[in-house]
Amino acid sequence: MMLMQRYSLIWDCCCDHGLLGMSLLQKHQAEKVIFVDILAHQMNTLETKLTKYFPLNQFDWEVRCQDVKTVIVPDVAPQLFIIAGVGAFQTIEFIKSLYASAQGVEFDLLVCTVHGSHAVRQALIRLGFKLKSERIIVENNRFYEGLYVSTVGDERIVSTGNTMWNWSDPLHQKYWEKLINHYTKKAATDPDQFQPVLAQYTSLTQKGTDCYQPNASLV
């Protein structure tokens, strides 16, 4: 778990079965958890489950069948939004609309997209978010980036990731190779957009380590 503090309010956005939010309720990570998803039947099922396992006389939660793009960030602190398991394009849309609705209210974000962390990072950088922590997550042979950021702070976000890389970890090397392969293909079809991204990832290993010798065929 990447979270560094307890929150007054946590939003489990695009919660689906609500597993993430339920584990946060279980750990008392927040005074209240709001579950948001656009699927009505899923939210009905979730509400029944929460009522059974997290009775409202012991836990505080709310289920909202709502488009995340219509959520208005309330003036509550500290407050966290979690967006996990959604594609980069949608994640960026959600972040932009939350940021616009917040009107200066501070909040933290925990983001874990299915693909396209580079684009999500660039959007966060443009909006002025700051890094709290970042992590490479490997699950069922798939790679994800866990990005924990805030509207306030000092540490800048780097579009290729920075502190998350451990170059002596073979899984991190494998993830890097996957990214290089992916952006090599993208750069072949759209060099203007993706050659710079490829160059950023390629230069990471030159900066980051003397102990990792990337596969020469890849770079």
85 is a site residue for ligand SAM (CB under 6 A) = yes
Question: According to CB under 6 A, which one of 37, 108, 134, 145 is a site residue for ligand SAM?
Answer: 37
DSSP-derived letter for residue 78 is: S
65 is a site residue for ligand SAM (CB under 6 A) = no
CB atoms within 10 A of CB 80: 23
84 is a site residue for ligand SAM (CB under 6 A) = yes
Candidate ranges 62-70, 160-168, 171-179, 190-198; the one touching ligand SAM (CB under 6 A)? 62-70
14 is a site residue for ligand SAM (CB under 6 A) = yes
Query: Are the beta carbons of 33 and 12 closer than 8 angstroms?
Result: yes
Q: Which residues of 11-33 are buried (b: 16+ CB within 10 A; e: fewer)?
A: bbbbbbebebbbebbeeebbebb
Question: According to CB under 6 A, which one of 67, 142, 188, 191 is a site residue for ligand SAM?
Answer: 67
15 is a site residue for ligand SAM (CB under 6 A) = yes
For residue 191, the minimal CB distance to ligand SAM (Å) is 32
Size of interface with ligand SAM, in residues (CB under 6 A): 15
| CB neighbour list of residue 175: distance below 8 Å, 6 or more residues apart | 136, 138, 143
DSSP-derived letter for residue 75 is: S
Q: Give the SS3 label for residue 56.
A: coil
Q: Which residues bind ligand SAM (CB under 6 A)?
A: 14-16, 20, 36-39, 42, 67-69, 84-86
